[in-house]
Amino acid sequence: MKNMLLTKNIALGMKLNDKGQEVAELQKYLERFGYLQPPVIAKGEEFRMMAPLARASHFDGATEDALSIFQELHGLPVTRQLDEATLQLIQKPRCGVPDKPYAVQRNPSASFVAQGSKWSKNILTYLFKEFTPDLNAAVVKAVLQNAFRTWALVSPLSFHEKSTSGDIEIRFVSGDHGDGYPFDGVGNVLAHGFYPPPGGGGFAGDLHFDDAETWTTNLPPSGYDLLTVAIHEAGHCLGLDHSLDATAVMYAYYGGARRALLNDDINGIRSIYGTRNRTIWSGIQAAVDGQGPFAGKAYFFKGGQYLRYDWGDDLADPNYPAPIVGNWRGLPASFTTNLDCALNGQGPFAGKLYLFKGNQYVRYDWATDRADPGYPKPIAGNWPGLPASFTNSISAAVSGMAGFAGKAYFFKGGEYVRYDWATDKADLGYPKPITGNWRGLSAGFTSNLDCALNGQGPFAGKLYFFKGGQYARYDWATDKADTGYPLPIEFNWL
Instruction: For Zn ion, give the closer residue by CB, 95 or 472.
Output: 95
Instruction: For Zn ion, give the closer residue by CB, 38 or 376.
Output: 38
Say whether residue 179 binds Zn ion (CB under 5 A).
yes
Instruction: For Zn ion, give the closer residue by CB, 64 or 179.
Output: 179
> Going by C-beta distance under 8 Å and a sequence separation of 6 or more, which residues neighbour residue 209?
132, 170, 171, 172, 173, 190, 191, 215, 226, 229, 230, 233
According to CB under 5 A, which one of 67, 69, 90, 97 is a site residue for Zn ion? 97
According to CB under 5 A, which one of 5, 69, 82, 95 is a site residue for Zn ion? 95
Whole-angstrom distance, CA of residue 196 vs CA of residue 201: 10
Query: Which range in 8-16, 24-32, 94-102, 289-297 contacts Zn ion by CB under 5 A?
Result: 94-102
Partnered with residue 418 across adjacent β-strands are 409
Instruction: Decide if 96 contacts 236 (C-beta within 8 A).
Output: no
Instruction: For Zn ion, give the closer residue by CB, 83 or 213.
Output: 213
- Smallest distance from the beta carbon of 129 to Zn ion, in angstroms? 11
Q: How many helices (H) and strands (E) does the chain have?
A: 8, 29
Tell me the site size for Zn ion, rule CB under 5 A.
5
- Smallest distance from the beta carbon of 131 to Zn ion, in angstroms? 16
Report the site for Zn ion in 399-458 (rule: CB under 5 A): none
375-379, long-range: CB < 8 A, 24+ apart: 375/332, 376/332, 376/334, 376/335
Query: Which range in 15-23, 112-120, 174-182, 380-388 contacts Zn ion by CB under 5 A?
Result: 174-182
- Smallest distance from the beta carbon of 416 to Zn ion, in angstroms? 51
Instruction: For Zn ion, give the closer residue by CB, 231 or 298.
Output: 231
Instruction: For Zn ion, give the closer residue by CB, 251 or 438.
Output: 251
Query: Which range in 180-188, 290-298, 351-359, 390-398 contacts Zn ion by CB under 5 A?
Result: 180-188
Whole-angstrom distance, CA of residue 40 vs CA of residue 43: 10
Query: Which range in 144-152, 178-186, 412-420, 459-467 contacts Zn ion by CB under 5 A?
Result: 178-186
Instruction: For Zn ion, give the closer residue by CB, 195 or 273.
Output: 195
Backbone angles phi, psi at 323, to 5 degrees: -70, 145
Instruction: Decide if 132 contacts 229 (C-beta within 8 A).
Output: no
- Smallest distance from the beta carbon of 205 to Zn ion, in angstroms? 12
- Smallest distance from the beta carbon of 113 to Zn ion, in angstroms? 11
Say whether residue 475 binds Zn ion (CB under 5 A).
no
Query: Quick one: which of 483, 329, 342, 320 has its CA closest to 408?
Result: 342
Whole-angstrom distance, CA of residue 262 vs CA of residue 250: 9
Instruction: Decide if 95 contacts 108 (C-beta within 8 A).
Output: no
- With residue 271 as reference, give the H or E element that holds it: helix 263-273
Query: Which range in 4-12, 92-100, 274-282, 377-385 contacts Zn ion by CB under 5 A?
Result: 92-100
Pairing mode, strands 352-357 and 341-344: antiparallel
CA distances (Å), 488 to each of 103, 281, 485, 493, in order?
Answer: 42, 10, 9, 8
- Of the candidates 25, 169, 213, 233, the residue annotated as catalytic is 233
- Smallest distance from the beta carbon of 262 to Zn ion, in angstroms? 15
Instruction: For Zn ion, give the closer residue by CB, 83 or 210.
Output: 210
Instruction: For Zn ion, give the closer residue by CB, 207 or 343.
Output: 207
Instruction: Decide if 395 contacts 411 (C-beta within 8 A).
Output: yes
Whole-angstrom distance, CA of residue 259 vs CA of residue 154: 14
Say whether residue 45 binds Zn ion (CB under 5 A).
no
DSSP string, 115-164: -S---S-SEEEEEES---TTS-HHHHHHHHHHHHHHHHTTSS-EEEE-SS
Instruction: Decide if 459 contacts 465 (C-beta within 8 A).
Output: no
- Smallest distance from the beta carbon of 234 to Zn ion, in angstroms? 10
3-state secondary structure of 273: helix
233 is a catalytic site residue: yes
Report the site for Zn ion in 188-247 (rule: CB under 5 A): 208
- Smallest distance from the beta carbon of 435 to Zn ion, in angstroms? 50
- Smallest distance from the beta carbon of 211 to Zn ion, in angstroms? 11
Query: Which range in 159-167, 171-179, 294-302, 400-408 contacts Zn ion by CB under 5 A?
Result: 171-179
Whole-angstrom distance, CA of residue 192 vs CA of residue 207: 6
Whole-angstrom distance, CA of residue 422 vs CA of residue 430: 17
Interaction site with Zn ion (CB under 5 A): 95, 97, 179, 181, 208
- Residues serving a catalytic function are 233
